[in-house]
Structure 1
């Protein structure tokens, strides 16, 4: 990531995301507008490529790229729980305010609650993207 961006450095990114080497992270909602530097940084943290949305593996975390108009967020969040370890984080990446596809934080909170997730924090992760960490149900 470039030093001029308002995103965390890769060392602080590790702390913010809490991803570690060897974790399996599933990516959902990939499109040509995702932040490739952020994706690369995540892959560097886990030491492997992100799993796609069709993976059947049990995963340690999910990164969900979400934009207004992508469909039903509650359904998408329920889908993230399909093969995630109990208690593992779901990161919802949304375009920042003023960017095309921005989603209001209240919508994320409401949909997360319906899906059985809790909003833990939100942080600027890339020049155009904000990440909201959701906690999944513990075992």
Structure 2
């Protein structure tokens, strides 16, 4: 997913259904536990778990950007097709530019989740 050691990753949208193996792999690779949204420090990237019904995706993405350093990224994790809470690629493609993000790549991230990398535009 492009994480490098010693980066600070913020995790938003955590719930009981998240992929704990993926979380552990990210923390193991970066060497740090992910921080939550209450920390208020600048982070290198964000993991945003999002499900249909969580609200307006564009607003959720804008909220996710509050603590991201310039040139940072957001990994949007959504349930795969056929899973409860599935979010269509069209919805992601529509919400990303509203939030000032560009979709760069999408791939499966575990059994139940898809990962979409969203890059910030240079400010």
**TM-score over 0.5 for the alignment?**
yes
From 26, 34, 59, the counterpart of 2:43: 59
Which structure is higher in strand share?
Answer: 2
List structure 1 segments (4+ residues) > 3 angstroms apart after TM superposition. Answer: none
Give the C-alpha shift of residue 125 in structure 1: 1.0
TM-score in terms of structure 1 length: 0.86
Is 1:88 the counterpart of 2:86? The answer is no
Give the C-alpha shift of residue 19 in structure 1: 0.5
Question: Which consecutive unaligned segments of at least 5 residues does structure 2 have?
Answer: none
Query: Cα RMSD (Å) of the superposition?
Result: 0.7
Cα distance in structure 1, aligned partners of 2:108 and 2:122: 26
- Could you list the per-position Cα deviations for residues 103-127 of structure 1 after superposition, in whole angstroms to 9, with x for gaps in the alignment? 0001011000111100001011110
Cα distance in structure 1, aligned partners of 2:22 and 2:77: 11
Higher-Rg member (1/2): 1
TM-score in terms of structure 2 length: 0.97
What's the counterpart of residue 102 of structure 1? 86
May I ask how many residue pairs the two structures share in their alignment?
123
